[in-house]
Homo-oligomer: A and B are copies of this chain.
Amino acid sequence: MSERIRIKDALQSAAPLDRIVIKGWVRTKRDAKGFSFLEVNDGSCLTNIQIIIDEKAAGFDELKLIHTGAAVAVIGKLAESPGKGQKWEVHATELQLVGAADPETYPLQKKRHSDEFLRTIAHLRPRTNKYGAIFRIRSESAFAIHQFFHERGFVYVHTPILTGSDCEGAGEMFRVTTLPPGYTKTGEGMYEEDFFGKEANLTVSGQLEGEAYACSLDRIYTFGPTFRAENSNTPRHAAEFWMIEPEFAFADLNDNMALAEDLVKYMTEYILNHCAEDLELFAKYVDQTLMGSLNNLVVSEFVRLPYREAIQILQQSGQKFEFPVNFGTDLQTEHERFLCETHFNKPVIVYNFPKTIKPFYMRVNDDNETVAAMDVLVPRVGELIGGSQREERLDVLKQRIQELGMDETPYWWYLDLRRFGTVPHSGFGLGFERFLMMVTGVANIRDVIPFPRTPKSLDF
């Protein structure tokens, strides 16, 4: 093990090597007279390494048992390759079959498989070029996020997944229980025997708890799974997805927009710099406008557009939209994409939305008609980020809760943050999968989540 070299490192070698050990999975085998070629991949990068094995190599006989999907160990020399498109190849001195794959039954034969088919073998699809690339990019994107916030002194907070109320009204919630199916007690005492003694749900957002920490540690972010029990089978919705939610104190809407823009650029630039090889695959096979739009994104100043002006632009666009727009309606993906892809051709931050379409915790502007909310719109996905300055004034917040006919009681602790040392503060939520869709061009959210969960679909 210790002397094994990963293929990524072997391919980046500065000089030939007399002896290397490669372990990985065979992608293809080609036989010639007296020798064979194996293309081997170990997940460390997109590119396979080519292994040349001739009759003199120990274990040459095993070759007949080796097919696509088999695990092998190879000892050999790293030598310059005469072939084009590759600098190095391995001349095997010893070949070992680690685990076979029966060509009759192994589902990943050398041909293009549909995304739909690959979803049914989600446990094997990361063995393909495309899904290997997606999940390396997913991992690097997550690292970029942690690095971005760490550099800026934000504390990573794990807000709870299990919550006691459907407070926020951000969406349909899953209920969590330890009572057996068919448990019939309702009304008073219905939760008496349940684990928490009361209704428990899966979180739709860690924002409110994040605010509590921002009002002590000044700058925090969450990065964790979030849930929506919405029964919608679309390429954009999953029941379980990951979200990044920074909250920071002494910050207004302008600070919020600046942080959001910095984050999106940082992540995108990080992926351009660290995942160039994987990105190329998507630029070539998935979306040929990809590199242009990503390179454009990192150098553009994001447009800052009041909601009111956005509505005017959309109304005067001459564009046929499925959903009409008027002051007081929420923007649909078609509008969002028109603004950033067609009208401005770069990311757009729409801000100051009508308070009638936004939740209670967003700060009411002086016009008493709009709130200090913002949405960041990007190519391919539309809304990537939604956020706001939070209402820090106790009286205004209580009035909003009342206006919306909500019960103040469960918010006692949230109101405490305004009772004791309240500060202007802001935050937003970034949908992690939406970022991945933007950066890869992959159009279905199911294909950027290792094991996606959607209505009636809970496999693996």
Q: Give the B-binding residues of A (Cβ under 8 A).
A: 1, 4, 6, 8, 23-26, 42-44, 69-71, 73, 98-102, 105-106, 121-124, 126-127, 132, 135-136, 138-139, 142-143, 146, 150, 153, 155-164, 172, 174-179, 181-186, 190-191, 195-200, 202, 209, 212-213, 215-219, 224-225, 227, 229, 231, 239-240, 242, 249-252, 255, 392, 413-414, 416-424, 449-451, 453, 455-460
Contact = CB atoms under 8 A, between A and B. Distances in A.
A202 B227 CA distance: 12
A164 B195 contact: no
Interface of A is mostly: loop
Contacts of A4: 250
A158 B71 CA distance: 25
B216 A423 contact: no
22 contacts: A23-B249, A25-B216, A25-B421, A43-B155, A43-B218, A69-B421, A71-B422, A98-B424, A101-B419, A101-B421, A102-B419, A102-B420, A135-B213, A136-B217, A139-B155, A143-B146, A158-B449, A159-B450, A161-B240, A163-B458, A175-B179, A212-B460
Contacts of A121: 413, 416
Contact of A70 (B177, B417, B421): B421
A217 B70 CA distance: 14
A196 B455 contact: yes
Given A73-B250, A136-B217, A158-B449, 20 more contacts: A4-B250, A43-B216, A44-B217, A99-B421, A123-B209, A123-B416, A124-B416, A135-B217, A138-B157, A139-B157, A157-B450, A159-B451, A172-B178, A175-B177, A176-B176, A176-B202, A196-B456, A200-B458, A212-B460, A225-B225
A460 B184 contact: no
B176 A181 contact: no
Contacts of A71: 421-423
A1 B421 contact: no
